[in-house]
Amino acid sequence: MSHTITVRLTQELLDWLKETARRTGMPAGRIIRQQLESARSQDGKQRFLEHAGELAGPADLSSRKGFARR
């Protein structure tokens, strides 16, 4: 590897990374590279957007009983 970057992580992400590295026995750098490769292979497609517009129900949640505006 010839390039190095610096990334600031939240404590939550750092804890996840350390735990995953400990559990799998893989170096943290390899885990990060795998996650980046996975994101790249999705070609910018975000999985949660696949289901956009598929939800059924009232368009205005305030029309549901218990959510009506007064």
- Express each pLDDT in 6-16 by its tens digit: 999 999 999 99
- Express each pLDDT in 20-34 by its tens digit: 999 999 999 999 999
Quote the pLDDT of residue 43: 74
Mention every residue, 6+ apart, whose C-beta is less than 8 A from residue 35.
none
Quote the pLDDT of residue 44: 60
User: Domain segments of the chain: what residues?
Assistant: 11-53
- Express each pLDDT in 32-69 by its tens digit: 999 999 888 877 666 666 666 666 666 666 665 666 55
Quote the pLDDT of residue 8: 93
Q: Where are the beta strands (DSSP E) in the chain?
A: none
Q: Which amino acid is at 49?
A: L
